[in-house]
Structure 1
Amino acid sequence: MQPNSRQLDNEALAAAARLASGDLSAAEFAALEQRLLTDDAFRQAYVEQVDLDGEIERHLSSIPVDWPSPPQTPRYVWLGALALAASLLLITTMLALVLLREDRVASTAPQLEYVEAQLRGLRAVAVATQLEGELTTADESIQVGARVKPGSLRIGAGALQIEFLSGVIVRLSGPAEMHLLTPDSATLIYGSAAAVVPPDAGDFTLNGPVSAIAASGSEFAYSAPDAHAATIDVYEGEVMTSLLGESGDTLLNELVKADQTARFADKSIEVTAASFAQSDRVRVLPIDEMSLSVTDEYAAAILADRPLVYWRFEPQQQQGDLVRNVVSDRYAGLVRSDDDSVKVERGSLHFEPSPRSRYFKLTEPLADLNAGDFTLEMWVRPNRMHWGTILGLLPDGQMAVNRERHLAVLEYANHTNLVHRPATMRFLYRYPSNSYDGGMNVFSAESCTPGLWHHLVAVKSAEGIALYLNGKLRQVFDTLTIKDEEPYTAVLGQLDTLRPSRQFDGQLDEVAIYPAALSTADVERHYQIMTGASSRQ
């Protein structure tokens, strides 16, 4: 039986009130959004309720200022009203994106379209990392490396891969439409999406005809041809699927595990065993193992600035697990890995996640490195957004059995225990290095897109510390005139030699360690030689 108008008005009023009070869970919010998209009568009642609230507000605002003041409105009521206004505006924006479109797929060339939700203060929730197919874009902001705020993504053909700031990777295959909500949630309006939820990413919610909450370490594909049917294939891990009622509460739920398929139709969920052939699986686009194209001119420029260590990872410089330093016969690098998660291939150093400790390390310590200035320079290509240590300088000869101390740490910082923008580079300097807490930090001016090579330079000088990412400088000034004669070793790929913690997932190349501070002009020159572009453009 269809609800009457009074019942619809009451339901619309109740939904708005719960939204304002913050009582809606993520699943209930998704159910409300879905009902607004599919239920014309409820949507009309909801819009009328919003208009009525606006009209009341307009009349109240016209009261003369010399009228007796009414009782003070509690602060929580105003906060609720603000939350209601923001939420209604976001939902209305999403509705406009859908209702104003008569055709899902353009009849001309395939289109990639992104429309940002028009709300102030929204922050990016994802980064576009790969495009597949010949796509024309309706918005120039959608390109590899673009930071994407909450809004609507629509693709007519091909595929778009985005990486949420939580670390979750989603591949959207056209024709499809997805609404991006937060760093760990989205709504699939129609089409197909594949998602990989890394072990350190936390849960990820993909809403649609059914709500799918994937646990850490899961991989699944979600297909929704329309608002009334869906299929979820779970390749790894597990996904909790929930069929929601009109109130937003769960009516039915089923846990779908690896090698199982869940089908939603006729208000039911059916879970069956499945065997997925590799050729049939809708996977995220793999990050290719693209090598860095290095010219002789670049290598000559590095050598001219006289580094102590310069690892180029060319085949002729590798002898078993040893990588020769091209500057001298000293300071070779050693691969420590018993499961092939660290290897030298195609002229670069590759790191993959492993449950075991694995790293790349100096064969002998650097004496007097911290007695004056020093510089760390390299090219970095992360495979995904994560918190991973790229290089650490550690006091040599530590006897700890659980963890080791650091003089400096250079890392890819995403979802750390510090305040910074997502997916940046971090340079930590800590002297004296006799504790595990605190230190001087500087973060890069921009985020780092997975799958792209980035030029990274960290400098410690008597005036402070500096960090360059693709030529752009950030620095912290302090007096660092230190007489430190302690020897230090370099460990690359994880936090230290004892723990498999903060493992870097990606590639490194052209790693150089200098016993001096490179100037801004030096860094700019190195970057220009490699890229042909100025960092100041």
Structure 2
Amino acid sequence: MRKFDETRTQHLISALIDENISAEEMKELNELLQDSPEALNMYLSMTQVDMEMHQDTSLLSHYSDLKPQVKEDLPETLDRLKKSLRLFQLVAAFLLAFIAINYLVLRNQPMKEEVNGSSPGVLAHILKLSEDIKWSKAKAKVGDPIGEEVLIIQKGSINLKYENGAEIKLVGPAEYKLHDQDSATLSYGQLAARIPEAAQGFTIDAPKALITDLGTEFALNVNKQGESKIFVYEGEVVGALLGPDGNTLKHSNLYAKDAVSIDSRSGTLKTLKDTKNFIRIAESPEASLHINQSYVDAVHNSDPIAYWRFNTEDTELITNEMSTSYSGALTGKAKIENGFLVFDKGTKGAFVVDEPIQNINSQGHSIEMWVKPLERSKDMMALASLVALGKPKNNETVKHLAYFGLTPQKSFNRHSPFNFWFASRFPARSGNYGVNCYANQDYKGQHWYHLVCIKNKNSLDIYVNGQLANSVQHELGSGDKAYQFFVGQMDFHKNSWQLHGSIDEVALYDRPLSAREIETHYQSMLEK
């Protein structure tokens, strides 16, 4: 960031006005104008003065041979025209120089990879193909990209995964056209869709019908006679009958278990009672998690100060397997199902350890868990946090030592979309002066991930599925204060950043885990 120096800035602006500024000086001035309000004010002031001076001197020289009354009779429009012209020249010169400099600076830099490794024009990838598939892309295989194109399926089924997380299943015979990340057309065939919150507004056109998804799971059957049948499994969908002008003529808001028929021939939209013949997207193999004894033994061998497994049916008290200290409890709508800690969409709740956790930041710390987000959310989702003790007073915010969570597509920070995020600060603060570490790889809904975040003496590290994803240097200190531990929410106050998904096998360490330990933990899950 460029610091404002009055003398230097004045020199650079003068050089620009005199049209003898070098490329390096232009780059320096550009950075100053972006970083310093004082520099920008000086630039506007000096160019305004130069513009007025240039106007006066040019008029005097141009009309020096004329009688004085001629200047008085000069139309005001000419004055304004010359003033505007001079200003335009200054701005144009500046912009042209700015473009040229940025071109020179960027020309020799390698091009950045597209976010999530995507190539331009790629809308989705093939997630699954049935063995009996017969379709227009006969040589295509799982993992291949799909762009803006028409897919014709004679037989079998295909699952597509959009870059925004939306998943579409098609069963032939079917004709499906991809338009962009947010829209497609099903001319005929059977379709099932699972749309995450981040892809809300996804629309599918059918003959004189429009289906708009509001973050849910639904099915659509379109026959070659132009009848569209919609069934909603979860969430909300808007089904619309389109008029001759292409605009909505009639519409219906559909919720879980609702179904309608839209007939383009008769121009009707009716409730549908028969919902037997709709397809649904099955959960992927990654959606299942079976913790084996080898994994449990590996965690025990690393000696965490706490290890919560959520296998108990007693939701009043979740015990720590490592000692009698640090038992936790569920709050709000958090629950245990099938041995997992579960957070449903639209609810609030957490797993909270009220007992102060001692010395967790004396030598650094590690948080380990298995996580399955159920969607790519448009909001931040919390995994865990270490929070300063004591209830905030008045309008004070909660002070956090560490955040661990999942990012949305965009936030106030710059990061690639749907990222794993670890943030640390010391002493515990309410949001400022922290250090962020992003995994720089995207998470997918309905998948389990083994995650470990670590605060080392001089680095913050994130491991995903046994491998180091990213490491960021820091100069944060350490201390022996105690902290409260949250899972699934950031805290009880402010924005909870509620998780929608499942968590299991949470382990907390008062030291940094080694790379070898983390890999051993993950690999032990692969043992049969």
Q: Give the TM-score band, short-chain normalised.
A: 0.5 to 0.7
Report the more deviating stretch, 480-489 or 215-224: 215-224
- CA shift, 1:401, in A, is 7.4
Q: Equivalent residue of 1:321, what SS?
A: coil
Q: Equivalent residue of 1:250, what SS?
A: coil
Q: What code does the residue aligned with 2:331 have? A: R
Q: Distance in 1 between matches of 2:518 and 2:180?
A: 36
Choose from 169, 186, 191 the match for 2:184: 186
- CA shift, 1:499, in A, is 5.9
How is 1:213-224 mapped onto 2 (pairs within 5 angstroms)? 213-214=211-212, 216-217=214-215, 220-224=218-222
- CA shift, 1:295, in A, is 2.7
Q: Distance in 1 between matches of 2:359 and 2:282?
A: 46
Q: Equivalent residue of 2:485, what SS?
A: strand
Choose from 346, 353, 357 the match for 1:354: 346
Choose from 381, 385, 388 the match for 2:381: 388
Residues 336 and 210 from structure 1, CA distance in 2 versus in 1: closer, same or farther, beyond 3 angstroms? same
Aligned to 2:264: 265
Choose from 281, 302, 305 the match for 2:299: 302
Choose from 228, 251, 258 the match for 1:255: 251
- CA shift, 1:297, in A, is 2.5
Residues 5-26 of structure 1: CA deviation (Å, up to 9, x unaligned): xxxxxxxxxxxxxxxxxxxxxx
Q: Distance in 2 between matches of 1:290 and 1:411?
A: 19
Of all paired residues, the percent bearing the same amino acid is: 27
Which of the pair has more CA radius of gyration? Answer: 2
1:195 and 2:189 matched: no
Residues 122 and 376 from structure 1, CA distance in 2 versus in 1: closer, same or farther, beyond 3 angstroms? same
How is 1:75-474 mapped onto 2 (pairs within 5 angstroms)? 121-122=119-120, 125-126=123-124, 138=138, 141-142=141-142, 151=149, 155=153, 159-197=157-195, 201-210=199-208, 212-214=210-212, 216-217=214-215, 220-226=218-224, 229-233=226-230, 235=232, 237-239=236-238, 241=240, 243=242, 250-251=246-247, 253-258=249-254, 259=258, 261-266=260-265, 269-275=267-273, 277=275, 279-285=276-282, 292-315=289-312, 319-337=314-332, 341-355=333-347, 357-386=348-377, 387-399=380-392, 404-417=398-411, 418-437=413-432, 439-474=434-469
Residues 334 and 188 from structure 1, CA distance in 2 versus in 1: closer, same or farther, beyond 3 angstroms? same
Q: Distance in 1 between matches of 2:327 and 2:147?
A: 45
- CA shift, 1:514, in A, is 0.8
Residues 218 and 482 from structure 1, CA distance in 2 versus in 1: closer, same or farther, beyond 3 angstroms? closer
Q: Is the 8 A contact 1:371 1:482 kept in 2?
A: no
Residues 362-395 of structure 1: CA deviation (Å, up to 9, x unaligned): 1312123223211111111222222421112222
Q: Equivalent residue of 1:409, what SS?
A: strand
Q: Distance in 2 between matches of 1:489 and 1:500?
A: 17
Residues 442 and 176 from structure 1, CA distance in 2 versus in 1: closer, same or farther, beyond 3 angstroms? farther
Q: Equivalent residue of 1:457, what SS?
A: strand
Residues 289 and 443 from structure 1, CA distance in 2 versus in 1: closer, same or farther, beyond 3 angstroms? closer
Report the more deviating stretch, 146-155 or 366-375: 146-155
Q: Equivalent residue of 1:485, what SS?
A: coil
Q: Distance in 1 between matches of 2:277 and 2:519?
A: 47
Aligned to 1:509: 504
Q: Distance in 2 between matches of 1:440 and 1:188?
A: 47
Q: Equivalent residue of 2:525, what SS?
A: helix
Residues 126 and 444 from structure 1, CA distance in 2 versus in 1: closer, same or farther, beyond 3 angstroms? farther
Residues 114-173 of structure 1: CA deviation (Å, up to 9, x unaligned): xxxxxx942654566677787699567526xx8766555555555545454445443333
TM-score normalised to structure 2 length: 0.65
What runs of 5+ residues in structure 1 fail to find an aligned partner? 1-74, 76-119
Q: In the comparison of the two structures, how many residue pairs are matched?
A: 401
Residues 433 and 130 from structure 1, CA distance in 2 versus in 1: closer, same or farther, beyond 3 angstroms? farther
Q: What code does the residue aligned with 1:455 have? A: H
Q: Equivalent residue of 2:400, what SS?
A: coil
Q: Equivalent residue of 1:491, what SS?
A: strand
Residues 190-211 of structure 1: CA deviation (Å, up to 9, x unaligned): 3122335555643112134346
- CA shift, 1:482, in A, is 1.0
Report the more deviating stretch, 506-515 or 477-486: 477-486
Q: Equivalent residue of 1:429, what SS?
A: strand
Q: Distance in 1 between matches of 2:203 and 2:293?
A: 48
Q: Distance in 1 between matches of 2:138 and 2:444?
A: 22
Q: What code does the residue aligned with 1:319 have? A: D
Q: What code does the residue aligned with 1:430 have? A: R
Q: What code does the residue aligned with 1:237 have? A: E
Q: Is the 8 A contact 1:171 1:195 kept in 2?
A: yes
Q: Distance in 1 between matches of 2:218 and 2:189?
A: 14
- CA shift, 1:307, in A, is 0.8
Report the more deviating stretch, 371-380 or 420-429: 420-429
Residues 450 and 498 from structure 1, CA distance in 2 versus in 1: closer, same or farther, beyond 3 angstroms? same
Q: Is the 8 A contact 1:165 1:422 kept in 2?
A: no
Q: Is the 8 A contact 2:152 2:176 kept in 1?
A: yes
Residues 241 and 133 from structure 1, CA distance in 2 versus in 1: closer, same or farther, beyond 3 angstroms? farther
Q: Distance in 1 between matches of 2:404 and 2:329?
A: 19
Q: Distance in 2 between matches of 1:491 and 1:375?
A: 14
Q: Equivalent residue of 1:508, what SS?
A: strand
What runs of 5+ residues in structure 2 fail to find an aligned partner? 1-95, 97-117
Q: Distance in 2 between matches of 1:287 and 1:327?
A: 33
